[in-house]
Amino acid sequence: MQNREGQKVPSVVFRTRGNGEWKDIHSDDIFKGRTVVVFALPGAFTPTCSSTHLPRYNELAPVLFENGVDEIVCLSVNDAFVMDAWKKDQEADNITLIPDGNGEFTEGMGMLVDKSDLGFGRRSWRYSMLVHDGVIEKMFIEPDLPGDPFEVSDADTLLAYINPRARKPRSVSLITKPGCPFCARAKAMLEAHGMPYEEIVVGQDATIRSVRAISGRETVPQVFIDGDYIGGSEELVAWFAEHAQNAA
C-alpha cells in the first residue's frame, strides 16, 4: 500500500446509477475546487463496513461539514447496483457512495489488493484520506496485517486530524412505545436540544422483558446517553437542567 500524500488523486470516470439511469461522474466533478473526505473499504454489505465504518462517517458527517468538508465519499470496488442498494439499506443520506467497479481509481491509488482467498477477487484496501482541490493532504492507511484491519481509517480519527476539538454528537438511545405521551415529550426535548437519537420501539424492536432487563423498569420511555442510563422523561428534564447549570 502506498501513501500518496501531496499527490493528485487519479483521473477516472465512475459509472454510477441515479434515478434508475446510468450517470458518468468524472473524478474532477468530485474533487476539483473542493474539500473532500474519502474512505475506501473492501466491499458493500460486509460486516465491518456495514456495522461500523460507513455508519460512523454518516453519524459524524454534520460535524465534518461544519469543519470545512464539502462532501464525504465512500468508495468500494463494487458495481453501481450493489452500491446503490447498500446506500438504501444503510440509510446513509450524508454519504456519497461511489462504485469503482473496474478498480481503476483504487489501482491508481496503489490500494488494489487480491482477496481471492475470500472469493472477492481484487478489492480496495481499507483507508481514508482528506483531499483539497484534488490533492491528497492526509491519508490513514490500515496496517498491512492479515485479514481486514480496522484501526486508523475510521471517522473519529479523520475528524481528530481536521479538528481535534470538534464537538461530536452524543450517542442517544430511547426506548418507547406507540401512543405514549411521555415518550413524545422525551423525543421533543431531545429534538429541541439538537440531539439525534435512535428509537427502540417496544413491540417492534424489543419487548417489555428487554426493557426490564436493561433498565430494571417496565415503563417507557427509557433514555440512555453516552453509555449512561438516564431514566424516563422526568429524569431527562433533570439531566438537561443539570447540564445547563454546569455549562453556565
> Any idea which residues carry the catalytic annotation?
49
Contact between 130 and 105 under an 8 Å Cβ cutoff? The reply is no
Omega into 221 within 30° of 0, i.e. cis? Answer: yes
Name the strand (E) or helix (H) holding 213.
helix 208-215
Residue with grid cell 423525543, as numbered in its chain: 187
Helices (DSSP H) in 36-176: which residue ranges? Answer: 47-48, 54-66, 80-90, 104-108, 155-162
Coil, strand, or helix at residue 140?
strand
Contacts for 21-30: CB closer than 8 Å, 24+ residues apart? 22/80, 25/98, 27/105, 27/134, 28/134, 30/71, 30/73, 30/96, 30/98
